[in-house]
Homo-oligomer: A and B are copies of this chain.
Amino acid sequence: MTAPIPAADPSSNGARALIHTLLDSGVEVCFANPGTSEMHFVAALDEVPAMRGVLALFEGVATGAADGYARMAGRPAATLLHLGSGLGNGLANLHNARRARTPLVNIVGDHATHHKRFDAPLDSDLVSIARGVSSWIEAPQTPDALAPAAAAAVAAAVGPPGQVATLVLPADVSWGAAPGPAPAVAPTVPAAPDPAVIDAAAAALRSGERTVVLVGGRVVADPTLLATVAAAAAAAGAQLLSETFPARMARGAGRVAADRLSYLAEFAEMQLDGAAHLVLVDTRSPVSFFAYPDKASDLVPAGCRVHELVAADGDAAAAVAALGDALGVSAADASLAPTDIPSRPDGPLTGESLAVALAACMAEGTILVDEGNTSGLFVAGRTVGAAPHDLLCLTGGAIGIGLPLAAGAAVACPDRPVVCLESDGSAMYTVQALWTQAREGLDVTTVVCNNRSYAVLNMELGRVGAGAGGPRARAMFDLAEPPLDFVALATGCGVPASRVDTAEGLCAALDRAAAEPGPHLIEAMVPPLV
């Protein structure tokens, strides 16, 4: 055991070196829910004002916002969490970020190195907890080691692939004397495409056999890359599908309209039925979201050959360009969605009229966050020809990301409107995000579809072979008693809110929200789909 590290002059302590290093490496925002062990980091925010600290009232808000920020900014944000328990609270949205391949520098404060052996009340095995969601973990034990570890964390986060890099920050490493920031680590050069792989994919497309091109990741986020893949598929007569839950997808008029692979395995199997080749473009081979009795987990049809055009650490742009060259097409050859903006609907609010209202009212450049679950079923179809927008999905299945993701996206893109399609059950996991939206004055319009149930579980109960459910089972999916009042919840967090139960009411509320600065919430009373 070494002697405790005394507090250093703040102008040269570890925390300040850390923040300078993050800034030099392109990390300019920190979504934080700090505690005592992170106080020197917090104090350094005054010494290094270029780092923007955004306060969250719950750690899942901080981690989800960091994910949303990076998806839109194209570079990582940092988090600042308080020991193993704070990490636990942030874990679900770190899981989603991991599945989105989001670059994220996850800073977790810890007890001082000399304090660890006393197993103080807040101590826990945080590295074990972090391992479940982090591809990279480092815990520098001296102030000297902190800045280089921070630069390495950013490089690890950026990848490719983007990943969650967890930097454990002991309190004394933060407060001890440090020599200064470390230089940014040069980004990894992604692996160049393997000509043999490109040739094999091109041969599959030209084979005349039924071929499906499943596209995701970085490629669906980029309209030009997506158009190139679509042109190649079309030239070969192959079917283009997008992965089920893309982290970010360019959509709307003037973009490629790619159907998404269904969440429901039975429908996904129909979409892939009879395929002799499956070409994966920056996405994983499709599997069922859950297992069901007597049903297959692997959605690839028997006998279908799978071709991975580009791996997660590969150069997706180069691989797509090479595929286009091999097929003799470019992005300009793609068939794009024509503008198709529906009239504003009226009448009762349903899942379908809600989708029409969103499509009708969507402003160009909108960032559409989708955690609408069953209530959002019709939105993808109805927004194909809407104003061009970016869609952000729930990638990892851990509900409770929508409100934080929207907050982070709005921090990244202050000049773009953010519309967050939420569901009542999911919204409640991280409802504290509304407060951060209000505090930061973020232009987020949250539409909470309130069907007063965990509707997806009513559906899954039967799908998983557990029968129709008796009254006690159904009660576990029922959110009607007492009814959640999202207008009151939003008001409690400082966000103006209204409730609508008609399609015209929803359109009017969307217009009001668009006309006023700052966040708004619309509670949309919709009947359950199932």
CB proximity to B under 8 Å, residues A282-307: 287-291, 293-295, 297-298
> Is the pair B7, A397 in contact by a Cβ cutoff of 8 Å?
no
CB pair A473–B293 under 8 Å, yes or no, is no
* Alpha-carbon distance A486/B131, docked complex (angstroms): 36
Stretch at the interface among A191-199, A217-225, A424-432: A424-432
Taking the full assembly, how many copies of this chain does it contain?
2
- Which A residues from 139 to 168 make CB contacts under 8 A with B? none
User: With A7-B465, A115-B291 in contact, is A129–B489 under 8 Å at CB?
Assistant: no
**A347 near B: Cβ within 8 Å?**
no
Using CB atoms, name the residue of chain B closest to A89: B92
Q: How large is the interface on A (under 10, 10 to 19, 20 to 34, 35 or more residues)?
A: 35 or more
Binds B, one of A273-281, A376-384, A490-498: A490-498
Q: Decide: B85 and A466 in contact? CB cutoff 8 A.
A: no
Q: Is the CB of B95 within 8 A of A84?
A: yes
**Contact: A482 with B95, CB < 8 Å?**
no
Supply 26 A–B pairs (Cβ within 8 Å), ascending by A.
A4-B294, A6-B294, A34-B476, A36-B464, A37-B464, A39-B466, A53-B475, A55-B475, A58-B429, A84-B91, A84-B132, A86-B398, A88-B88, A88-B89, A115-B288, A121-B395, A121-B396, A128-B129, A129-B131, A172-B293, A175-B293, A428-B432, A439-B481, A488-B489, A488-B491, A492-B492
Chain A contact residues, CB within 8 Å of chain B: 4-7, 10, 32, 34-37, 39-40, 42-43, 45-47, 49, 53, 55, 57-58, 60, 84-92, 94-96, 98-99, 111-112, 114-115, 118-122, 124-126, 128-129, 131-133, 171-172, 175, 245, 287-291, 293-295, 297-298, 395-398, 400, 425, 428-429, 431-432, 435, 438-439, 456-457, 460-461, 463-467, 469-473, 475-476, 479, 481-489, 491-494
